[in-house]
Every structure is written in structure tokens, then in C-alpha cells.
């Protein structure tokens, strides 16, 4: 996947993570948003026994948008881990994003929040299914 030029224009800093390094840590309060510039990233969530991989993300994908869009909480509900080698990510300009998000009309914000909530619930549901299968 190519990197969207509009998204790239928000990158203020690039960071490289070695293989298996944690880019986003579940449970931590942080609402930074990243874009994957190079490499693969696994999205994982803790269950009582180990971790479940929820998604494999590739170059060009935005990371960390859930905690950002769920502005009331801003707590990471999943982890993002470098997979199959080192990963280079671009950190998006948080101040600019917050400024842009403030311009979103209230009813659309309501829809976005509902979407994020549903995504969090879907992640948990999948974890339950996997935990139940073990």
C-alpha cells in the first residue's frame, strides 16, 4: 500500500523500531497517531492466557487512531508490535490533528465515537472467542 500524501504531510518525526519492539502499549494513556512507513505491524490484545493477534498491518496504514478518536479516554486498548523485522513509523502532528478534530461537527463526532466503541467491542469479542477455544 502506498503512503497517502495527505497523511504523510502530517508526519513530524520518523522513528524506527527493531523486530518485536512495542510501538504502542496496551493500557497506557497516550493518543499519538502513527503511519507505517516501512515494515509490518501486529495488533495484539491481552487475554487471561497470553495475547491474541487481531490484525496484521502493512505499510501505509494508520496506527493508534482508536485512542485518538476516543478522546474522552485516550487509553490504548490494544498493543502494536513490530513484526517480521524492523519497522519505521511516522508520528503525525498531534496538535494539528487535535485542531482538525475540533472542526468536526458534533453529530459526526458522535458517529465516529460510536464506530470506535463498536471496534473496541469487536476486538474484545474476538478475544473472548479465542480464549474460549483454548
Partner 1 sequence: MAMKKSNRKPPPIVNLKYRKGELIIKENDYGISIYKIITGKVQIFTHSGDKEIALALLCPGEIFGEMAFLSKDTEVRSASAKAEQDSELEVWHPDLLSQEYDNMPPIIKHITDEALNRLIRMNRLIAQMTSRKEEEKTSGKQQNSGRRHYRKEVDLPCTYRPVGSSSRRRLNGIVKNISLSGANVEIREKTAAKFSYDPGDEFHIDLTLPGDKNVHFTAKVMSSRNPRVSGMLSLGMVFTDMREGTQKDLGFFLMP
Q: Is residue 38 packed enough to be buried (19+ CB in 10 Å), middle (13-18) or exposed (0-12)?
A: middle
Q: Which of residues 55-74 bind partner 1 (CB under 8 A)?
A: 55-56, 61-62, 65-66, 68-69
Instruction: Give the whole-angstrom CA distance, residue 132 versus residue 128.
Output: 6
Considering the complex, what minimum distance in angstroms separates the CB of residue 31 from partner 1? 12
CB 62 within 8 A of CB 8: no
| The pairing of beta strand 62-63 with beta strand 11-17 | unpaired
Considering the complex, what minimum distance in angstroms separates the CB of residue 58 from partner 1? 8
Residue numbers at the binding site for partner 1 (CB under 8 A):
4, 6-7, 10, 33, 40, 42, 44, 50-56, 61-62, 65-66, 68-69, 83-84, 97, 100-101, 103-105, 107-108, 110-112, 114-119, 121-123, 125-126, 129-130, 132-134
Amino acid at each position: 500500500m502506498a503512503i497517502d500524501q495527505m497523511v504523510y504531510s502530517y508526519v513530524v518525526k520518523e522513528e524506527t523500531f527493531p523486530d518485536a519492539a512495542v510501538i504502542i502499549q496496551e493500557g497506557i494513556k497516550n493518543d499519538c497517531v502513527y503511519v507505517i512507513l516501512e515494515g509490518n505491524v501486529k495488533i495484539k490484545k491481552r487475554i487471561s492466557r497470553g495475547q491474541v493477534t487481531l490484525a496484521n498491518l502493512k505499510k501505509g496504514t494508520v496506527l493508534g487512531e482508536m485512542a485518538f478518536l476516543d478522546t474522552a479516554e485516550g487509553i490504548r486498548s490494544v498493543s502494536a508490535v513490530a513484526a517480521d523485522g524492523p519497522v519505521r513509523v511516522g508520528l503525525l502532528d498531534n496538535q494539528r490533528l487535535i485542531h482538525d478534530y475540533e472542526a468536526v461537527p458534533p453529530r459526526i463526532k458522535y458517529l465516529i465515537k460510536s464506530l470506535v466503541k463498536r471496534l473496541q467491542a469487536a476486538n474484545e469479542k474476538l478475544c473472548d472467542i479465542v480464549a474460549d477455544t483454548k
